[in-house]
Structures are given as structure tokens and as C-alpha cells.
Structure 1
């Protein structure tokens, strides 16, 4: 690691106060004063950990409040040279890493070991009697640099977030009815409680709680849009950690959840873009069968989402054919997917009398502006080509008027097609009184 890399690492310090302390240690390192560097690094760690305890105390943690109360009680006694207070204060400093680990869950196993080594080496540097007066301790530059890196990575760059308490804090935030549904705003909320700088174990525990909670949890998490918002936000903040956890959770739940709860997977498909790629083949097949066998009410909600995945297009096309008119109309209002538009055109062109045509037009109307020229031509020719009784329907006149106004195809082609496919009177109506009756 170069000196420039160290300067960049210093910028990761969470607070300006912590940065000032560690800059002193870096300055010593650059000057080759490695003993002073290690001592200053330990001072920065102790200062930062005590500062974190004070922050936690403000949030109401009783253990942290007791430590802060002790420190506040020691200070005036130390100023009076009270040996008992000095000893207790030094004992707290010596055990600060263990306290933060056991009582507040700040660290993971190897991090505790790294910080314990820093404390041991600090004692060797600051107390000549540890080595003997004849052979003063001379740490290497590599050792000093390692302690600097560990101090910043494990302590100074981290927010004061406690293991289980951190996860509980996130859940309290997410279960609030005011938690934002917008992903960017959700990220701001999560960052405000320190989730942009926490240990991997906290991220793993939090994303597990949210993912399992969305499908299998209680009423404060299950199936709620704000839970999805938190999952997506945390995943964007820590994609390398969250991705594998979400994938594992989805596949486990996909094999065991009840059929009604499988519907929640469509919420994930809609809002979390990696859902389908994470599902294994058996769970993908289960989702496909749900689309295929779903009742009409579920199909209306599931198909617009399913059509976003290429692998679900064919089963969605099949299910669309079995929907009632109202269901197809509702889906056409939600999505303009080519398969939906094609289904609306097919239905209209299958009309065998003018009454059915007028009814079927309800599904076609929402997608009129999305029709291709070939689909327009098909509808115009449907009376001859598909024996559809369209020209006698009021809806066919409305359709032709829309095409005439928007010129989806040229007006000349429209009129010629009508005149050669049984729609002569519709063509006459379009051209009769153009200046007065047709507002274009």
C-alpha cells in the first residue's frame, strides 16, 4: 500500500474527529516513527469507540448509558488525581475492544483479533519494560501500516451499529407507515442509520429478515410495498452481499410456501429486477404453473408483471386467451406489451356480429395508439379475410375515424381498403362533410 493509498483510506473515516487522530498516526508512519504511529493508532481507536458508545447511549441503550455515566463520574475525580478513578478509567480503556464486542456487537471474530494485536503492540511501543531496557521494541513499517489499515477498516470507518440491535433498528424503520416507497429515498433513510457503513454480518442479517419477512413474515412486513422498497434499496447499497442472500432465501421459500403466498413473488418480479434470474428451475416452473392455472382475478395482476420476463411470455399468451373480456381490458390498461395488443386484435377480429364487436372493442380501445400498421390493416380487412362482422358495428366506425385522424396509415390507403373490404359506407362517412363533421 502506497502513501497515497493511506491518505485515501483516511478519507473513509466516519467523523472529522476520528480523522484528525488517525492523520497524526499516518504522519508518524510517513516519518518512519513506527512506534509513535502504533501508539497514535491505538489512541484513535479508543477515542472513536468511546465516541460510538456515547452515540448509542443517546439512543437509549442502558449499557452504553452506564459506561458514559462512569466516564463522566471519573473525569472530575481524575482531575483531582484520584488513583481509584484513574485505575478504573485505564481498565475501561484496556478492555474497550472486548466491551464493544461482547456488549454491543461491533466486531466479528478476526476484527477482534486484529484490534487485540494492536493493543498488545501499543503496550510494547509505549512501555519499554515490556522488552527490556537494552532492546527497545522496533516494529516494522509493515506492521505499523497493517495496524493503521485495521483501525480504519474495523473502527473509524464504521457507524455505531450493533449486531442484533442494528437489525432491529432497521426493522423498526421499515415497518413505519412513513417509510418511503421510492428506492432513492429509501436508501437515504437506511444511510441515515448507518447502513452504508456497517459490517457484512449486519447486512446479511438485515436482508434475510426483510426477504423472509416479505413472503413469510408478520403483517408489518409480509407483502408490503415498503418492505420491497427496503429490499431493493439495501440490495443496491450492498449488491455483492445481498444478492446471494436473496437468491438463497427465494429458492428456499419457493419450495415451501403455500400457493397463495407464491403470489408475493410477483411483487418481487415487478420491483426487484434480478428475481427471475435468481430462481432455480423448479421454482421457475412453479411460477409458470401459477400463471397458467391462476384464477381470473390473479391473472389480471400477474400477467402484466410476468410479461416483463421473456421466459414467461408464452404461458402468459396462453392464459390471456382464457381471460374474460373485462380481464383483457384491464390488462390492456396496465401494459402495452405486444402480446397483449395482439390478443386484443385477435379478439376484435373474431367478432361474429356487430353486438359482439362493440363489446370486444372495449379491450382494443386502450391500445389503439400502439397498434402496428399491419394490425390496422388486419382489422380493416377482417370482414373478408376472417369473416368478422365489423362494418356493421358502431365501434368499427369509431376505429376507422381514429385511424383517419391519426393517419396510422395514409388516408388514401384507409379509404381504398374500406372500399374493397365491405366498408364502403364507413369510407363515405369519413369523407362526407370533412370540413364540418370531422374535427381535423
Structure 2
């Protein structure tokens, strides 16, 4: 930058913190008056004050490194410990670079020169000459511009603290679970105020978690971590190309045991597939082709069903799953391609207790993920099997699932009509009263009763009202 053309008054307008601006104004006034030593001294004061102000902002966001420095600073201030304050002031650039990463290493080099020249200006002991150091106007102006460009105009950006914050946050109940909300949350909390290099490091940590299962306590949280990494790709795009190369290297060098993880990862980031080495693609394809229900232990492999190159083999694998493996697969990730198997298993429930278990294990995990067609299929599955519609918990489980659906995804009126007519014929309207009331909440009107069929009385007799604790038929 040619600092000779920088208007110092305009430079003042770029300073974020009001008090820092006042202190830096002293430096500008001194410079214009020709007091160049005073200009550098005031610029250093403004710089240190602004770093402390940035530390306070980051500490309020939970940054442990800035909090530790401020505790020492504030304790020394209260105690009037001038020696300690001078020691902390002298080390603040190193702390801001190495510990809090508020300042990057290139900026630190320029700012160290300001600190050295300020010392030469203010302290005779720092000069071997009889006279104090007198900076040139060009050098003084360069230091003023650097102070604003590198610190005073910058947002306080998080450094290494981002990892500690995310580690605690992603395990907490306050971390969002909805996909789009995670994108917004991660952008606002972790990406908007973090340096580009730390964004890349953050993304690499997320990728390692998904691909290698480290740290281990993040492993059950992959449904939160995947959209967190998507947020890096979509909301911090300048960091993504370099991060992509690091991820490709991770996948190409992945241990065989982690290949199911890689398949799930590629399903979430399909654009990476063509960039993998050919032997890597071959190994992942063979992993899927050779998978069998009897040896299936990592159900993340099924996420690859969304990719054309894996779909046929994985659909065949899903079709061959027994109930135990199906339950485990749905628990791992309720993929859309598992729904048909799940609702079919539920539809065929052979007892009331098995019906309730099937609903809890195979249907409830899809809450909030089902569209109108799937909910129509579920209502039909309830009324097509007496073990389902007459099980004690079906009404409660069904109501909870319906409440998780958006209004646009609720069952069609035709499916509701079929459901209502069936429970009316079988005299179960009292049991499903809350479900019917909820289904009417968006304007659906109860259909008129259907004309009685010749065997209508028999239909009611097939499944008579009985207490829920009556002996259950098991098959």
C-alpha cells in the first residue's frame, strides 16, 4: 500500500471502537503537528487499548484464552501493580498471535516494528545515541496506517477457542437440530467472526470427526456435524477449496475400517467423488458390492444409496435387512429409502406389543421427515391391521408423529377420510378422538358416515372394544 496517499482523517472513520478512535486521534493530531515521536507513542497506546477491548468482546463470547489474559490484566489494575501491567503490555502481541490468534503472524511482524520504534521514541535507554530516535514522516505514517489496517479496523475474530466452544456447544441441548437452522447457527456463531485459516482448521476437525470418528464423543452427533461442515462450504466459501484438498487427502489415505464413513461422507458431499484417486473409488465401490446384512455393523454405509453409483447395490442390501438390522439402520439414520421397509414391517405387526415396538423403533425416528404420501401410507398401515389400530399406544404415538409434520405435509383428505370411516365403523372414535381433532385443525371436515355395509355388524364384532390390559394375542 502506498501510505502517502492515505487520508488520515478517512483512516479514523474505519476504527471500530469509539474509545480507540479517540486515542488514535491523538496520534493523528501529533502527526499533523510534526510531533512524530508523540504520534507513534499515541498509536501504540491506541493499539494496546483496542486489543484489550477486543479481548473483552471475545471473553463475553466464552473465549477462555482472552478471559485468562484479562483476569491477569484486571487483577494487576486493581492492585496497582505497574510492573505486571507493563509486562502484560509488552507481551500482548505475542499473546494475541499465539494464544488468542486475534492477530495473525504477518500482522505481528509489522506491529512489533511499531512497538520497537515507539520504545526508541519514548525511552532514552533504548537508544545508543545521545538523542532520541526521530522517525521519518513516511515511517510514522506507515505505522499509523498499519495500526488501523491490521487491528483497529478489524472485527475481533476467534482463534483456537472456536474448537473448545464448538465441542461444548454441539453436545448441548441448545444446539439446533433442524438442518437449515444448523447452517444459520454455525455461520453466525462460528464462521462470521473467525479468521480464514481457523475456518479451514475448523472444517478439517469436522471432516476428521466424520471420517475417522475422532474425537470419539462426537461420533453419535454426526447428524449435527454434517450440516456444520455444509455451513463451512456454503457460508465460508473462500476457505472451501483448500479445505477440499485436505479432505480428499484424508479419504485417499483412510483405513479400510473407516470406508463406510467415507461412503456416508461422499453421500453428503458428492462433488468430492470425481476428485478421489481411482484406487480409492474402486475400494469404496467394492465395500458396497461386498456388503451383506449378516456382516453389517456400520449402518452409515447405507447413506450412499443417494448416489447413482451405489444405489442399486444398496437398495438390494436394504431389501435384505431383517427387523433387527432394519431397526439399527433407522436408528443410525432414518433415510428416505428405509421408509418403505419400515412402514411395511409396521403394517405386518403380529401383535399389539409388537405393533407398539415397531412404531417406536421404525416409525417414530422419521418424525419431521415424512411427506404427505408417507403419512398417507402410515394411516393406511394403521387401519389395515387390527393389531395396529387397536394397540394401546397407537393413538398417542400417531398423534406425536402428526404434530411433527408441517401443515403442508399432513395426510391428504382422502387418507383422513379412510382413516375416520374405519375407526367409526370399528367403534374406536373415542380412542382416536385427539388424533381426529388434530387432523381437523387445518380445515379438514369430517366426512358424512358411509352407508352401512351388509357385514357392518360383523366388522364391529371382529375387534370389540376391550380394556387395554386384556390378554394380548402374540404371534
Residues 1:69 and 2:66 aligned together:
no
How far the C-alpha of 1:137 sits from its partner, in A, is 1.1
Instruction: Report how many aligned residue pairs link the two structures.
Output: 318
Measure the CA separation in 2 of the matches of 1:111 and 1:154.
8
Shift of the 26–294 alpha-carbon distance from structure 1 to 2, 3 Å rule, reads farther
What corresponds to 2:307 in structure 1? 306
Residues 1:208 and 2:204 aligned together:
yes
Q: Tell me, yes or no, if the aligned pair for 2:263 and 2:304 is still in contact at 8 Å.
A: no
What corresponds to 1:235 in structure 2? 233
Aligned equivalent of 2:134, options 133, 137, 147: 137
Q: How does 1:94-173 map to 2 (within 5 A)?
A: 94-101=90-97, 104-126=100-122, 137-141=134-138, 144-145=141-142, 148-149=145-146, 152-153=149-150, 157-159=154-156, 161-163=158-160, 165-173=161-169
Q: Tell me, yes or no, if the aligned pair for 2:102 and 2:159 is still in contact at 8 Å.
A: yes
Q: How does 1:316-335 map to 2 (within 5 A)?
A: 316=311, 331=337
What corresponds to 2:465 in structure 1? none
Residues 1:256 and 2:254 aligned together:
yes
Shift of the 135–42 alpha-carbon distance from structure 1 to 2, 3 Å rule, reads closer
Q: What is the DSSP-based 3-state SS (H/G/I as helix, E as strand, rest coil) of the residue aligned with 1:97?
A: helix
Measure the CA separation in 1 of the matches of 2:306 and 2:248.
17
Q: Tell me, yes or no, if the aligned pair for 1:223 and 1:264 is still in contact at 8 Å.
A: no
How far the C-alpha of 1:319 sits from its partner, in A, is 6.9
Answer with 46-55 or 128-137: which moved more: 128-137
How far the C-alpha of 1:233 sits from its partner, in A, is 1.3
Shift of the 278–194 alpha-carbon distance from structure 1 to 2, 3 Å rule, reads same
Give 1 or 2 for the bigger CA radius of gyration: 1
Shift of the 11–304 alpha-carbon distance from structure 1 to 2, 3 Å rule, reads farther
Aligned equivalent of 2:85, options 84, 89, 108: 89
Measure the CA separation in 2 of the matches of 1:183 and 1:10.
42
How far the C-alpha of 1:213 sits from its partner, in A, is 0.9
Shift of the 225–118 alpha-carbon distance from structure 1 to 2, 3 Å rule, reads same
How far the C-alpha of 1:4 sits from its partner, in A, is 6.8
Q: Tell me, yes or no, if the aligned pair for 2:120 and 2:132 is still in contact at 8 Å.
A: no
What corresponds to 2:399 in structure 1? none
What corresponds to 2:50 in structure 1? 48
How far the C-alpha of 1:139 sits from its partner, in A, is 2.8
Q: What is the DSSP-based 3-state SS (H/G/I as helix, E as strand, rest coil) of the residue aligned with 1:256?
A: coil
Measure the CA separation in 1 of the matches of 2:9 and 2:261.
47
Runs of 4+, deviation exceeding 6 Å: 4-12, 26-33, 296-300, 318-323
How far the C-alpha of 1:228 sits from its partner, in A, is 0.9
Q: Tell me, yes or no, if the aligned pair for 1:38 and 1:144 is still in contact at 8 Å.
A: no
What corresponds to 1:224 in structure 2? 222
Shift of the 278–27 alpha-carbon distance from structure 1 to 2, 3 Å rule, reads farther
Measure the CA separation in 1 of the matches of 2:8 and 2:275.
38
Q: What is the DSSP-based 3-state SS (H/G/I as helix, E as strand, rest coil) of the residue aligned with 1:287?
A: helix
CA RMSD of aligned residues (A): 4.6
Shift of the 152–299 alpha-carbon distance from structure 1 to 2, 3 Å rule, reads closer
Q: What is the DSSP-based 3-state SS (H/G/I as helix, E as strand, rest coil) of the residue aligned with 2:218?
A: coil
What corresponds to 1:179 in structure 2? 175
Q: Tell me, yes or no, if the aligned pair for 1:34 and 1:139 is still in contact at 8 Å.
A: yes
**TM-score where L is the length of structure 2:** 0.52
Q: How does 1:259-270 map to 2 (within 5 A)?
A: 259=257, 261-270=258-267
What corresponds to 1:275 in structure 2? 272
Task: Give a deviation string over 1:290-326, Cα, whole Å, max 9, x none.
Answer: 444444797994464213xxxx3xx645776898599
Shift of the 66–200 alpha-carbon distance from structure 1 to 2, 3 Å rule, reads same
